[in-house]
Structure formats: structure tokens, C-alpha cells
Structure 1
Amino acid sequence: MVMSWAISLIIIVGVRLMVKKPTLIPSAGQAVVENMLGGIRDIMEPIVGKSMIKKTFPLLIALFTFILIQNWSGMLPGVGAFGFYDEHEHLKYWMRPGNADLNMTIALALVSAVFAWTYFVFRYAGLKVLIYDLFGNKADPKEVPKVIYVLLFPIFFMVGMIEVVSILFRPVSLSFRLFGNVFGGENLLANMTSLASWIVPVPFYFLEILIGAVQALVFTLLTAVYIGLICNHGDDEEHAH
């Protein structure tokens, strides 16, 4: 929790100091922030759709930025380095990366894959679209025989039941994927540093920078995909053209 508060403060203060008062000709700090926003927006827009990007972008950019800095926080001096031993002789660190704790990744997964997904789907798609997307017969009755079209109903219903199960497991997959990568990276750095304090750990720090960025992007992309699967049907005709 302490690391999460610190990371949130770093994001707020850092963006404010970099942007300051936005100008038509951006400063170096403003250009960095605008390029990051523009880059993430360009990646997410085809997934969630043009009609949904403005509505979902605050959530997506917040998830990406917060998770990215949380992932990298394990490389800050003092993080995962100091602590105390409990009554079972287990070392408890004073500060650890937030995403190296399963409680944090579960909270992020519940916010993105449950609460936010439910809000966007029911607010901008509706229950009817959701039910059709899960259980509806997607075949065109004009292109398939009537008998086959009728027989497809139970098949699509069973596929919908499988999809419901996958939706329920989304928080599990999201939280454990992020937790496993960050926790594994933290242990890797600790082990390499214990073997040799100089030079040897350096390549692994660069590896953690890459993995931290990839995992933040994967988490955000999956959140966008979950929302776009239901809410992005309005852009189908435009994409076809």
C-alpha cells in the first residue's frame, strides 16, 4: 500500500512538473507526455473502437501508467532491500513493488475486468447486445439452410456458456499473470544481486525494464479487448468499408 501511494504521488507530481501549463508549442516534458498518450491511444483505438476510445481512454492510460511504474519500482534503491524477520524467521520487506503482491494484482483485475467492463458494457452496449453476443445465433439465415440454422442455436448456446466461464476467470488470469512476472523478476534480481553485487545483475535489470513494459501493455490491451469485444460492434460497417 505504501508503494502504491508513493507511485500514485510520483505519477501526479511527475506529470504536473513535466506538463506545467500546456502550450501550443509543447515543452520537452509536455511532448513526452503527449507522445505517450498519443501512442497508447493509437494502439487502443482499433480495439475498443472510435466511438468508445474517448470513454475508455482515461481508464486504459491510468492502468498502463500505474502498472508500468509499479513494475519498475522494484529497481529503485531501497525497494526490496530492507526489512525484518517475523516470528517464523521469514524476511518481511519494508517496501516492495506493489504488483509483487497478489492483493494488488487482484484489485487491478477486479477494477478492470469486472467493475469497469460491467459498466462500459451495460452503459454503452446494453443487456440485449451482451446476451446476443454470448448466446445469439451468428449465422445468416439467408445463407444457410433453415434446418442447419435451427440446429446452430444449441451450439451457439453452449459456446456462450463457455464464454461466460472464461469471463468469470478473467480476473484470475489477469492477476496471476501480472503477479507471477513481477514476483519472479523480483526474486531473480535479488538472487543475482546476492551472487554478485556488480556487473552480473546489470543485464537482468534491462530485462526487467522490458518485461515491466510488456506486462503493463499486455494488461491494458487485454482490458481493451474485453471491452471492445462487446462494445465495438458499432464500427463494423466502417471497418468493412
Structure 2
Amino acid sequence: MFRVSKLRNFALLLATAATAFAAGDGAGVSPRAEPLFFNGTFTNAIITAWAFTGVIILLLMWMVGKPSIRPSKGQAVMEALITGLRDLFEPIVGKKAFPAAFPLLATLFIFILVNNWMGLIPGVGTIGWHGHDAAGHEHFTPLIRPFTSDFNGTIALALLSFGAWAIIVFKYAGPKVLFIDLFGNKADKAETPGWLYPILTLVFLIVGCIEVFSIFIRPFTLSVRLFGNIFGGENLLHGTGFFFVFYFMEMLVGLIQATVFTLLSAVYIGLICNHGDDHDHEEGHAEAH
């Protein structure tokens, strides 16, 4: 783990140098997505996301084909992927909220993973055209840009995750459970001295206010983490001349960041909704006997 951490730190230093190199002579990846159509309404990141989303859908339809009891190789691969994601997310989210949360989490994981790995495809970020900006300086506009290397893209994904969290939590837990989870006194009144219980109530109230603040900054933290790693990786590849060793590292980083984003989204849902499953299971087991 120590060696991996040192390698990652070294890579981030190279990414910083690559960013400085990009800012100095126009190479590398621009911090902003380039406007392409309708006065900047559609950027290269948006067009790329739509195009690759269509490719993903067509690829999945081709792999699965007509579902059957005896699955084809493509269907077996997809079933294995879905089963793996289900086994990963269900214990975190909880059984009650899982049917609503799983389509979102699986879609986010696949979409983010594909867009994270797009920067490794030859031509991404290098195919485009040269022009001049308003000041008359020569400017290169790439045709293709990974959606997750644009901060607008990652903040949109984070806001989507946050909105889905709010809907799922209010539907499957309710405002009362949410309020108690945030501000309620978690101490056992029967085992807590009478003089200490009101003090703990005040402490949990203050902690709840801090937790509310942390909830509202989740979209920012989710988006910055994803954007920083993917944008830094893009500049790392450009600044080092697409050295093949960093391809393998960026593949790993892309997988880790897609997993972290979706796991955190699942944890946020599970913190509120994943209550009572063990209790319900014990009650059902007792009734069966």
C-alpha cells in the first residue's frame, strides 16, 4: 500500500507539472470544455457523453440480444456484472430502498467508468481543429473530451446523485426517520444518568446541524474528487507523451473513482434507509417458529 501511495503521489506531481506545461504552451487539456454548437450550449464534453451513451446502449443490446433461459455469452457477462453490482450495493443500501436505488447506482457506475476510461482511447483530446480566439491567439479545439474531465459534468452527476438520495430517503425512510437520525439522542435513556441525558441531547443537536451542513456539501465533494482525478490523469497522459505505463495506472484510477462515487452514493442512502432489516428478519424468523 505504501508503494502504491508513493506511486500515486509521484503521478500527481507529474500531473501538476503537465498542467503547468499545458498552461504555458497550449498543450494538454483545457480546464474548460470547448463550446461546439449553439453558442456554447453544447460542449465537446456533452456531445461526447451523448455519443458514448448511445454506443453503450447499442453495445449492451447487442451483447444481450434476446434474453433467454440459456444465456448467450454476452447475456452471461451482463448478468455477472449486474449480479456483482447487486451483491455490492444491496447490503449497503438496504433491502427496502434497493429496488429504487440499484438502477441509479448501476447506471452511474457504468457511465462514469466508461467516461473515465475514454481518455485512454487514441485520438481523445488530440483530434480537433485549430482556430483563433477573440484576442487573435491560436487555439486548439478538441472534438472529443471525457465527460468526467469537465467539472460541469461531474457536478451534474453529483447533483443527480444528491437529488436521487433525497427522493429515495423521503420515500423509504420518511422525514421523521431522517430528523431522528440527524438530531435524535442516540444514547440509551435507561443506561444513561438522568443529568447526562439532556446534555447529550444538546450535543446530538449540534452534531446534527454539522451533519446537515455536510449533507449539503456532498455534491461539491463528490464532483471535485471525480473531476480532480480524471482531469489530472488527462494532463498526466498529455504531459508525459502518453507514456504506456500511465495507461495502466489511469485504468486503475478510473475504476477506483467510479467505484468510490457510486459507493459513497450508496452509503449516503444506506445511512438513512438501511435500518430495521435485521430486526425485520428476526421478527420473521420468530413468527416462523
TM range (shorter): over 0.9
Secondary structure of the 1:92 match is strand
Q: CA deviation at 1:167?
A: 0.4
Q: Which protein has the larger Cα radius of gyration, Structure 1 or Structure 2?
A: 2
Question: 2:94 — aligned with what?
Answer: 49
**Between structures 1 and 2, the one with greater helix share:** 1
Q: CA deviation at 1:149?
A: 1.1
Q: In the alignment, which of 267, 271, 280 is matched to residue 229 of structure 1?
A: 271
> In 2 relative to 1, CA 81–239 (structure 1 residues): closer, same or farther, beyond 3 Å?
farther
Deviations 1:121-156 (A, max 9, x none): 111111111110000001111111121111111100
Q: CA deviation at 1:31?
A: 0.9
Structure 2 distance, partners of 1:85, 1:211, is: 33
Structure 1 distance, partners of 2:189, 2:154, is: 44
Structure 1 distance, partners of 2:276, 2:60, is: 34
User: Contact 2:96–2:172 (CA<8 Å) still a contact in 1?
Assistant: no
With structure 2 as the length reference, what TM-score do the two structures score? Answer: 0.78
User: Contact 1:86–1:92 (CA<8 Å) still a contact in 2?
Assistant: no
1:186 aligns with 2:234: yes
1:128-139 alignment, distance < 5 Å: 128-139=176-187
User: Contact 1:80–1:94 (CA<8 Å) still a contact in 2?
Assistant: yes
Deviations 1:198-227 (A, max 9, x none): xxx111111111111110010000000001
Q: In the alignment, which of 148, 156, 181 is matched to residue 99 of structure 1?
A: 148
1:152-231 alignment, distance < 5 Å: 152-193=200-241, 201-231=243-273
Query: Structure 2, unaligned stretches of length 5 or more?
Result: 1-45
Q: In the alignment, which of 172, 180, 191 is matched to residue 143 of structure 1?
A: 191
Q: CA deviation at 1:90?
A: 4.5
> In 2 relative to 1, CA 91–239 (structure 1 residues): closer, same or farther, beyond 3 Å?
farther
> Residue type of the partner of 1:229?
L
Structure 1 distance, partners of 2:211, 2:278, is: 21
1:60 aligns with 2:102: no
Structure 2 distance, partners of 1:236, 1:128, is: 20
Structure 2 distance, partners of 1:116, 1:225, is: 13
1:38 aligns with 2:38: no
> Residue type of the partner of 1:213?
L
* Superposed CA RMSD: 1.6
Secondary structure of the 1:67 match is helix
Secondary structure of the 2:186 match is coil
User: Contact 1:47–1:228 (CA<8 Å) still a contact in 2?
Assistant: yes
Identity of counterpart residues, as a percentage?
55
> In 2 relative to 1, CA 239–174 (structure 1 residues): closer, same or farther, beyond 3 Å?
farther
1:13 aligns with 2:64: no
> Residue type of the partner of 2:211?
E
Greater Cα shift, 230-239 or 25-34: 230-239
Secondary structure of the 1:95 match is coil
> Residue type of the partner of 2:146?
P
With structure 1 as the length reference, what TM-score do the two structures score? Answer: 0.93
User: Contact 1:80–1:96 (CA<8 Å) still a contact in 2?
Assistant: yes
1:70 aligns with 2:119: no
User: Contact 1:136–1:153 (CA<8 Å) still a contact in 2?
Assistant: yes
Secondary structure of the 1:233 match is coil
Secondary structure of the 2:126 match is coil
Secondary structure of the 1:91 match is strand
Structure 2 distance, partners of 1:116, 1:89, is: 43
> Residue type of the partner of 1:10?
V
User: Contact 1:45–1:53 (CA<8 Å) still a contact in 2?
Assistant: yes
Deviations 1:79-132 (A, max 9, x none): 10123344254533221111000000000000002x101100111111111110
